Amino acid sequence: MSRVVDLPGAAHLVLADGVVHLDPEPAVFDAMLDGWARQQRTRFLDWESTIRPRVSLVKRLARFTNQYPWQWEPAELEAFFDYLRTRRPGKPLAVSTARNYQNDLRLFLEYVTDTRYGWPATCSERFDRVPVQLLHEWNTVTHTSEYEGAAERRPLTYDEVQALFDAADGRVENIRTRRRKGSLAALRDAMVLKAVYAYGLRRQEACGLDISDLRRNPKVASYRNFGAIFVRYGKASKGGPPKRRSVLTVPEMDWIVEVLDQYLTEVRPGFNPGKHPAFWVTERRGRMSLRRLNAAFESARQAADLPAELDLHSLRHSYVTHLIEFGYPERFVQDQVGHAYASTTAIYSHVSDEYRNRLLLRSLQARHGDLWGLEA
């Protein structure tokens, strides 16, 4: 007989002793999910970004199969993923998303099949069946490529970046000309898009920015308080806190200094934010949301008539690519965008043929001089 262990999430800790449930199956299932959530919280995983989506996925599978985990068989999971792939014609399930789903379900099944948590014994006693691990290397998506995002996602060209910003500025003038409300919000939207590009920010990093995160760079006093920004809500590793980094203002994008200065002195006060610490604020005197930031990009993209596959994150790809084309070392770019590995930065960069040809000509000139009449 296996020894009962008081691990967080163990069956005997989440199922009430001596209680006879009129409908035991949903009661045990709910206790399983509660125990799994408790086990993950002890590992300091975040509820909103990690635990809740995982629990929702398990519930979704249970609704699809109309069965409980101790009843699942491989056919149920295969049908579930086949449904996910075909339910939206023209919008296939991304390979990376499918693998994440499978990994999350595998973790859940590892939890409920681990005898230390007591769920196999509980299910055997109550239902005469036990949950089993159904996801293995041979029936799940394998990770064969470093980048599995949509092939259409790419950085914007310099002309497209300019067209996007011109369209965002044009919305401001259009609203003012028509004497409609919203010109201040439109001006803020145009400025935040420029900041996202000028510092290569993720959505959460931009929305989480506070006024106190502005930094002076003593080496470039002319940038005043806009020599760098301190990112406090960088992408976290699972189980860890948000990563922090400082992003320096680079000379090629020092136009952002005047943009941010105008926002602080003329635009932000118009929202009457009071003592709210957020840098980007809304008409309701709150912090700008991720959805609002996405909407700002989408409105400008449509106004500029740019391809629909471009999204807000494409501006971050553009930042990486353009820094490399400006000649910055890859290590500097890696630190600017907060990548743990240089390989990730390489995935984000898509330098132009013109840039590569300049490098090629420079190398040929260095090797052969003017022997071939090459012009850089």
158-308 CATH choice from 3.10.20.740, 1.20.210.10, 1.10.443.10, 3.40.50.300: 1.10.443.10
pLDDT of 150 above 90 = no
Whole-number average pLDDT of the chain:
88
8-state DSSP, 248:
E
Give the whole-angstrom CA distance, residue 94 versus residue 30.
Answer: 29
Cβ contacts of 294 within 8 Å, gap of 6 or more: 203, 311, 312
Give the whole-angstrom CA distance, residue 153 versus residue 136.
Answer: 31
State the average pLDDT over residues 328-340: 91
Contact yes or no for 44/74 (Cβ under 8 A)? no
Other Cβ atoms closer than 10 A to 204: 17
Sheet-wide strand order for 243-248: 214-215, 228-234, 243-248
Summarised one tens digit per residue, pLDDT across range 273-330 is 999 999 999 999 999 999 999 999 999 999 999 999 899 999 999 999 999 989 898 8
Give the whole-angstrom CA distance, residue 374 versus residue 369.
Answer: 8
Contact yes or no for 242/162 (Cβ under 8 A)? no
Contact yes or no for 198/268 (Cβ under 8 A)? no
* Structure tokens that stand for 20 in this block: 């006879």
Largest CA distance in the chain: 92
Give the whole-angstrom CA distance, residue 97 versus residue 91.
Answer: 13
Other Cβ atoms closer than 10 A to 336: 20
Look-up of token digits 């890696």: 334
Give the whole-angstrom CA distance, residue 133 versus residue 182.
Answer: 54
Contact yes or no for 32/38 (Cβ under 8 A)? no
Contact yes or no for 213/230 (Cβ under 8 A)? yes
Q: How far is CA 178 from CA 167, 168, 183, 187, 190, in A?
A: 16, 16, 10, 15, 18
State the average pLDDT over residues 184-205: 97
- So what's the pLDDT on residue 6? 78
- If 0-12 CB within 10 Å is exposed, 13-18 middle and 19+ buried, where does residue 222 land? exposed
Summarised one tens digit per residue, pLDDT across range 128-137 is 999 999 988 8
Say which residue, 263 or 353, is predicted with more confidence. Answer: 263
Strand partners, 214: 229
pLDDT of 211 above 50 = yes
315, 321, 322, 327 alpha-carbon torsion, rounded to 10° = 160
Prediction pTM value: 0.71
- So what's the pLDDT on residue 14? 86
Instruction: Show me where the domains of the chain are located.
Output: 11-139, 158-308
